[in-house]
Amino acid sequence: MVPVLSPEALAAQGVEARATYARLAAAGLKLDMTRGKPSPEQLDLAEGMLALPGNRDHLTESGEDARNYGGLQGLPEARRLFGAMLGVPPELLVVNENSSLAVMHDCIVWALLKGVPGSAAPWVGQDVAFLCPVPGYDRHFGFCEGFGIRLIPVAMREDGPDMEEVERLAADPAVRGMWCVPTYSNPTGATYSEATARRLAAMRTGASDFRLFWDNAYAVHHLTENRPAPHDILGLCAEAGNPDRAFIFASTSKITLAGAGLAFFAGSKANVAWYLEQAGRRTIGPDKLNQLRHTRFLRDLDGIHRHMEAHRRLIAPKFEAVLEALDQRLGGLGLARWTEPEGGYFITVEMLRGSAKRVVELARGLGIALTPAGSTSPHGKDPTDSILRLAPTYPSLAEVRAAAEGIALCIHLAALEADGLERAA
């Protein structure tokens, strides 16, 4: 990314950018583009669900009373519905409480304390490492940081992680897991290609109990009319002779209600049996009324897609507003590039090396809160200091537009400062 304009033209831009910054700073904005949360209007889409299953409607399709204990794996009707969404047979799906992060957390803790199917011993006390595509999701990194699991970064590309690198690193027996967000990755929006999924399923690993932590958080969160189907990672792993390789996670946090949805675990028969064995010590059963509520409300896969269309109508304009603002100020300058995601919750901006922290600081001066620079890298440290994650779903469209213009301005200013061109003005 090399500036393509003459020093004089850039100097003139510096004058304009600083004047605009001063004007915006005086306007006293208060905007937040930090976390990928659904907006109140998105939550309103599921408001009707709060009245379900309704008075006296507590019997499941097999006539069981959903108010009572039991049903550890989840209701068959809920497993059928969300199995269809994730491309997983219902018998290999477990429906849990509201948070998929909690399910991931449990799997890591149980792997540490007990090992997973195929482990010679529990992971705890051993040198354990996870591969993590970067830019990636800070909460995935946080699990590993919290439990002393080494994080090994791997570059993220448009069709998934750099597979040459993944295959080389996975040969190390210390590498026991890998974080994957296969559809509309957090934060780049990249979707793994079929070839990437096949290579992950088939690659040789040094550890016999290696697991893909396959977090399909955005499986149906499309921003265009394209609806790529989820990869059949369980089938691909089985076909490659590694049937137990994938742990699948997902939730309805960004489908129905972020704080009151359903979370899922899926895996091979052996993995599901392992999961249920541990989970059965932890609880007598999940909240099956919430499962009924979800099946009554969403009904079938078409119902899910229709519901996600309504989300798209609310959030796609916000993504467009960010892209427009970035393009308007920075297009053709060679100072930054950004993803144009077809789904998910984020836009990633890559700017000149060494300028991301400065952009966050400049944005704070305008009253715009951004995710801290570095948060998309392990330990919160981006050695290139060049990546920013923008989360446009929560604020109103007008706020998103104002914030994006401010952010684009800060990227521009930081780049001018970095080149010393500002002083030339």
**Contacts to ligand PMP by CB under 6 A:** 36, 99-101, 137, 181, 186, 215, 217, 251, 253, 263
Which CB atom, from 14 or from 182, has the smaller least distance to ligand PMP? 182
Which CB atom, from 13 or from 251, has the smaller least distance to ligand PMP? 251
Question: Is residue 68 packed enough to be buried (19+ CB in 10 Å), middle (13-18) or exposed (0-12)?
Answer: exposed
Which CB atom, from 100 or from 242, has the smaller least distance to ligand PMP? 100
Which CB atom, from 250 or from 410, has the smaller least distance to ligand PMP? 250
Which CB atom, from 100 or from 268, has the smaller least distance to ligand PMP? 100
The distance of closest approach from Cβ of residue 294 to ligand PMP in the complex, given in angstroms and rounded to an integer, is: 14
Going by C-alpha positions, the residue among 347, 353, 354 that lies closest to residue 408 is 347
Residue 144 token pair: 């590993």
The distance of closest approach from Cβ of residue 345 to ligand PMP in the complex, given in angstroms and rounded to an integer, is: 6
Give the span between the Cα atoms of 366 and 21, in whole angstroms: 8
The distance of closest approach from Cβ of residue 180 to ligand PMP in the complex, given in angstroms and rounded to an integer, is: 10
Q: Are 249 and 105 in contact (CB under 8 A)?
A: no
Strands (E), 96-187: 129-134, 150-157, 160-161, 175-180
Give the span between the Cα atoms of 365 and 370, in whole angstroms: 11
Which CB atom, from 100 or from 196, has the smaller least distance to ligand PMP? 100
Which CB atom, from 21 or from 264, has the smaller least distance to ligand PMP? 264
The distance of closest approach from Cβ of residue 97 to ligand PMP in the complex, given in angstroms and rounded to an integer, is: 10
Which CB atom, from 248 or from 263, has the smaller least distance to ligand PMP? 263
Q: What does the DSSP 8-state code read for residue 218? A: T
The distance of closest approach from Cβ of residue 179 to ligand PMP in the complex, given in angstroms and rounded to an integer, is: 9
The distance of closest approach from Cβ of residue 52 to ligand PMP in the complex, given in angstroms and rounded to an integer, is: 20
Q: Are 103 and 249 in contact (CB under 8 A)?
A: yes
Which CB atom, from 255 or from 408, has the smaller least distance to ligand PMP? 255
- Which residues are CB-contacts of 251 (< 8 A; sequence separation ≥ 6)? 98, 99, 100, 217, 261, 262, 263, 264
3-state secondary structure 371-425: CCCCCCCHHHCCCCCCEEEECCCCCCHHHHHHHHHHHHHHHHHHHHHHCCHHHHC
The distance of closest approach from Cβ of residue 421 to ligand PMP in the complex, given in angstroms and rounded to an integer, is: 37
Going by C-alpha positions, the residue among 348, 418, 283 that lies closest to residue 10 is 418
Q: Are 126 and 177 in contact (CB under 8 A)?
A: no
Give the span between the Cα atoms of 258 and 245, in whole angstroms: 28
The distance of closest approach from Cβ of residue 290 to ligand PMP in the complex, given in angstroms and rounded to an integer, is: 13
What SS3 class is residue 148?
A: coil
Q: How far is CA 362 from CA 18, 29, 67, 246, 336, in A?
A: 11, 13, 53, 42, 16
Which CB atom, from 35 or from 353, has the smaller least distance to ligand PMP? 35
The distance of closest approach from Cβ of residue 253 to ligand PMP in the complex, given in angstroms and rounded to an integer, is: 3
Q: Are 318 and 400 in contact (CB under 8 A)?
A: yes
The distance of closest approach from Cβ of residue 209 to ligand PMP in the complex, given in angstroms and rounded to an integer, is: 23
Residue type (1 letter), 162? D
